[in-house]
Amino acid sequence: MFNKRTRIKELLKSNSVDFETTVMGWVRTFRNNQFIAVNDGSTNNNLQIVVALGMLDDSTLKRITTGACIKATGKIIASLGKGQKVELTADSIEILGDSDAEKFPLQPKKHSLEFLREIAHLRFRTNTFGAIFRVRHSLAFAIHDFFNKKGFVYLHTPIITASDAEGAGEMFKVTTFPLDGTAPKSDDGSINFKDDFFGRSTNLTVSGQLEGELAAMAFSDIYTFGPTFRAENSNTTRHLAEFWMIEPEMAFSDLEDNMNLAEEFIKHIIKYALDNNREDLEFLSQRLEEEEKQKPQIERSEMGLLEKLDFVINNDFERITYTEAIEILKECSHNKKKKFQYIIDKWGIDLQSEHERYLVEKHFKKPVILTNYPKEIKAFYMRQNDDGKTVAAMDILAPGIGEIVGGSQREERLEKLTQRMNEMHIPTEELDWYLDTRRFGACPHAGFGLGFERIVQFVTGMGNIRDVIPFPRYPKSASF
């Protein structure tokens, strides 16, 4: 059997020595024609393979280059050198895949994140991205673990849909019609989709929430975890055109239940990463510390990465209303000295990332849950409060990135929901299937959405969201 190998992570964490094994991986460095540093992606740490002088002919030695893939069989012994507990003394070396040392882009030196984005197909092989994507894996597993233990049903909602759950209109269209202007037109000049594949206008989903609500009305508690798409022309460190969302929907839940679940959920998945990826997070913490040293003192974080994560899981999130937040922001010196790009001067405006980050990083210095937003800046499906001005919405704001969770108690009253849809010019006939959940056995229910890349960004300390998804999609970029 070819794949009879031991992972390097297992060898390095074990205290066992004096046994035969086989390892396979990619060459990081080769020194003095004797010492090969090999990595197989199971850990950032390399295994040193010692080749006896004269064991390999010159042609084979020349093929052991950075990036080459090798198979090494030999004995694991206690290492005499510094930096590793064990090493492998090779009995045989087989080159599985050559790598042209002159052309291989990842030479053993520091590379900028911008450069690595251009070679995203190879950046997995660096320590930084090895750590990021092992942490990403753990967070994904922890999400399923959390909801499974609570009895939630995992629902796959459609990627192609005819509805716009957010009402924002920033969607990627799905069509089989030609793009040369010959698609059939209606009398008013718009494209007639009756002869298209689905017989109507369709798009890539912006959210699985509406379909999730349908299932919650049968299973009580469901969650979705899948890709979503926004055709928003945003070239920022916080936005992607394709990203993954976690969206639980819970029957028999109100806004407080929603907040409690979201806080417990975030703490659970962060704790799982801390318990299972300590080595990777320590590496990323060190990397962030070096990055912070390049910033002016006033812009540096007060906590290191591990300290911040521990702080989040060990402290209650601050809970305040939107109205209280506006008062804090209006009266703060940052606003009065006009240091905000968007000055806070009245109730009812949508908070920007700079305001959210001020609340969590400067004022409360901890994650914040904001509740009861003005209904005019929120989606049609959010439950209207008795004051007639606000809705039972909640956002969770995190240090470094601002909004990380958005959710609400859903409007279960048919009359109120249809009235709000009419006010917002959302055609009720197109969402008649959604309104059926209010006609037949409606109940109080709530849910939230968590952008997966945002939480990965938060846990890894990465400054740009494009560095926490394998192949980022953003304006003018769809490589690989």
pLDDT tens string 143-190: 999 999 999 999 999 999 988 766 556 899 999 999 998 999 998 988
Q: How many residues are present in the chain? A: 480
Q: Per the domain annotation, does 77 fall within a domain?
A: yes
Lowest mean pLDDT of 296-310, 374-388, 418-432, 448-462, name the range: 296-310
Domain span holding position 332 = 125-171+206-467
Give yes or no: residues 352 and 420 share one domain.
yes
Paired with 434 in beta bridges are none
Q: Per the domain annotation, does 199 fall within a domain?
A: no
Higher pLDDT among residues 69 and 403, named by residue = 69
The number of folded domains in the chain is 2
| pLDDT, position 414 | 97
Q: For residue 213, name the pLDDT band (cuts at 50, 70, 90).
A: very high
| pLDDT, position 479 | 85
Question: Which of residues 108, 134, 159 is at a domain's end?
Answer: 108
Give yes or no: residues 86 and 164 share one domain.
no
| pLDDT, position 374 | 97
Q: Per the domain annotation, does 201 fall within a domain?
A: no
Higher pLDDT among residues 187 and 130, named by residue = 130
Q: Tokens 């990595």 identify what position? A: 39
Give me the CATH number covering residue 343: 3.30.930.10
Give yes or no: residues 156 and 230 share one domain.
yes
Instruction: List helix spans (H) across 244-277.
Output: 255-276
Q: Per the domain annotation, does 148 fall within a domain?
A: yes
Q: Per the domain annotation, does 3 fall within a domain?
A: no
| pLDDT, position 295 | 81
Give yes or no: residues 373 and 270 share one domain.
yes
Q: What is the mean pLDDT of residues 12-32?
A: 94
Question: Which of residues 59, 77, 108 is at a domain's end?
Answer: 108
pLDDT of 40 higher than 60: yes
Q: Per the domain annotation, does 472 fall within a domain?
A: no
143 neighbors 246 (Cβ within 8 angstroms) = yes
Give me the CATH number covering residue 40: 2.40.50.140
User: pLDDT by residue (tens digit) across 441-452?
Assistant: 999 999 999 999
Q: What is the mean pLDDT of residues 448-476?
A: 95
| pLDDT, position 363 | 94
Q: Per the domain annotation, does 176 fall within a domain?
A: no
Q: Per the domain annotation, does 55 fall within a domain?
A: yes
Count other C-beta atoms under 10 Å from residue 118's C-beta: 13
Give yes or no: residues 99 and 148 share one domain.
no
| pLDDT, position 253 | 98
Question: From CA 51, how far away is CA 72, in angstroms rounded?
Answer: 10
Give yes or no: residues 338 and 311 share one domain.
yes
Question: From CA 242, how far away is CA 59, in angstroms rounded?
Answer: 46
398 neighbors 404 (Cβ within 8 angstroms) = yes
Paired with 477 in beta bridges are 474
Lookup: tokens for 6? 């031991």
Give yes or no: residues 283 and 151 share one domain.
yes
Give yes or no: residues 270 and 307 share one domain.
yes
Question: Which of residues 77, 108, 139 is at a domain's end?
Answer: 108
Q: For residue 209, name the pLDDT band (cuts at 50, 70, 90).
A: very high
Q: What is the mean pLDDT of residues 285-314?
A: 88
DSSP 125: G
Q: Which residues contact 4 (CB under 8 A, 6 or more apart)?
A: 22
Give yes or no: residues 97 and 145 share one domain.
no
Give yes or no: residues 278 and 394 share one domain.
yes
Average pLDDT, the chain: 94
Question: From CA 454, how far away is CA 239, in angstroms rounded?
Answer: 9
Give yes or no: residues 211 and 237 share one domain.
yes
Q: Which residues contact 287 (CB under 8 A, 6 or more apart)?
A: 128, 461
Paired with 391 in beta bridges are 373, 384
Report how far apart, in Å, the C-alpha atoms of 330 and of each of 110, 339, 377 are: 44, 12, 19
Q: Tokens 């005499």 identify what position? A: 80
Report how far apart, in Å, the C-alpha atoms of 214 and of each of 161, 162, 440 are: 15, 16, 11
Q: For residue 237, name the pLDDT band (cuts at 50, 70, 90).
A: confident
| pLDDT, position 168 | 57
Crossing angle (nearest 10°) for helices 255-276 and 278-292? 100
Q: For residue 65, name the pLDDT band (cuts at 50, 70, 90).
A: very high
User: pLDDT by residue (tens digit) across 96-129?
Assistant: 999 998 899 998 888 999 999 999 999 999 999 9
Give yes or no: residues 100 and 139 share one domain.
no
Lookup: tokens for 225? 């975890």
| Percent above pLDDT 90 for the chain | 84
